[in-house]
Amino acid sequence: MPALQNIKVAVDAVVFGYTSKEGLSVLLIKRNIDPYKNAWALPGGLVGDAESLEEAVQRELTEETGVNINYLEQLYSFGAPNRDPRNRVVSITYYGLVKPDAFELKADTDASDVAWFNIKNLPKLAFDHTQIINVARNRLKSKMLYQPVGFELLEEKFPFSELEKLYMAVLDRPIDRRNFKKKIMKFGFLEETTEKQMLDGAGRPGNLFRFNQAKYFQLQKDGIAFEI
Q: Give the phi and the psi of residue 61 in degrees, each rounded to 5.
A: -65, -45
CATH code at position 11: 3.90.79.10
Please give the biggest Cα pair distance in the chain: 77
**Do residue 55 and residue 127 come from a single domain?**
yes
Cα–Cα distance measured from residue 86 to residue 121, given in angstroms and rounded to the nearest whole number:
28
The burial of 228, by beta-carbon neighbours within 10 Å (0-12 exposed, 13-18 middle, 19 or more buried), is given as: middle
The pTM score is: 0.91
Q: What is the DSSP letter of 127?
A: T
Residue 149 forms part of a structural domain: no
Full pLDDT tens readout for the chain, 228 residues: 677 888 999 999 999 999 999 999 999 999 999 999 999 999 999 999 999 999 999 999 999 999 999 889 999 999 999 999 999 999 999 999 999 999 999 999 889 999 999 999 999 999 999 999 999 999 999 988 888 888 889 999 999 999 999 999 999 999 999 899 998 999 999 999 999 887 665 557 789 999 999 998 888 888 887 777
**Do residue 86 and residue 173 come from a single domain?**
no
Domain count, the chain: 2
Expressed as residue numbers, the domain containing 125 is 7-144
